[in-house]
Structure 1
């Protein structure tokens, strides 16, 4: 089987830890696009990017291989590559640092704070762990091995060298990484005797809908072990061990038990706080990652150094001083 040709290197450096957009021009069998400007106008028609791309062309900020400046009047060339940096909207600074837990030539493990997305998506571009780490650690080729929800704090893995990325991602795809989470949620004395408990259900999430749902009677695709570690009055501290990786899985399963995680803005109901409201973080922490390194062969067990504030300071957390 013939290997797919690699695209040429980008003529544009990263900006704020973000790669330039790379676009390969598709076939045009009907000759619909006589020039580059016509193609880009059609591609981005009806989107917020339409005026932006036209502006970038006019300003000479769309480049071809080798850094050649492209214009709207350039002939359309199927299969050709082009690059550009979009103008990014200002983002609220997430005012919490990322702590490095482990770094070697292949692997970076960090302790991500609440409210910081792992990778660029939607309105979170530069204020993401990936972009900030590339800049702060001067690691432009850093890439994620997996993702942690923006509202969840704790351990996240990145590969430092592009050639190692697939090996680390495969660990997660094959479920060869042992993960443990810690959560704070209501303590129900009536439910406590039934714990530990394995929760199995079918979880589905529609695109564009913030909340995932459990589908009754469906073939289970999500499994979580729920253990009660301690209780202080009406508050419980739980260890959650996911055996699958569905979106919002732990949050959905805890809510289904009648134990919604403290600070959850989605379960049991969507409250939609402002994106820069950091007062009451979701009390969910990715506590442990354990695996055999596929590159070095080392046996790793990493533990987060973070704590969930509401356990020791429930009043302060409820007053909005949480982190």
Structure 2
């Protein structure tokens, strides 16, 4: 088997493909021959050595990747829900950039019918992020006004689709004109192209009283105004800090990181109380043990797919050998939809 290994923090040259023996599944585990592996922006942060859960749970060397699709080629003792040859999707706490992977059977589910392997691998991380943000944290009511930053990306487009399922009116924000149609296709009622429009003036025109929910993974660039544009009882959900990271070069800009950290808003509980607004935040990798949430999410995902309520993200495929190009592209902020690696 072969997989991507990062021996130490660094740029694209640290993404090394190495050969290993095919692993043997232990009790309760499943061996998956990978057909596609999802690429997430978190993987870039892992490579740079800045992802806290990667350092806490794995260390160096590390293989990035949280999600794969493929075929079951090995079963550990006690596994009864799968058979050899089953087409599945597997979640893993890192390790996904690999031609074969062993993971606990409780993190594996059957590939939804009608999805390609690439589409199936593109869905778990982005849709579970959106699902947790909206249905575990924000709980939007029908008619709620929601603003989604980065609405043409993998998580953003998933948020838009699920917000529409919840009966919300959705404003999507994109960073380039080439992303507008993708955000509209996801279901946005209004798309703001902040490269050509005044973001907050347009946002106010749609929701003069403020938004019920704003979903923000930008970080310091927008957090302050996102909070300011909530209405009373509104909720700001934070799930990333992308604007603190470089868009090219593959290495952290430490001045930008420190500057961003210093300028990131701090939310005083006294002010939150008098403002009557909420700030919520999460990182899915620290929730990996919550299989109860995973079961609920998978049930909802299968139902929505069967109903046609959601569709897979637009997928761009890269051979595993071109993992560095995939990382450079996702860092650039120019991509639309989801990137996947094909071993």
TM-score, normalization by structure 1: 0.22
The structure with the largest alpha-carbon Rg is 1
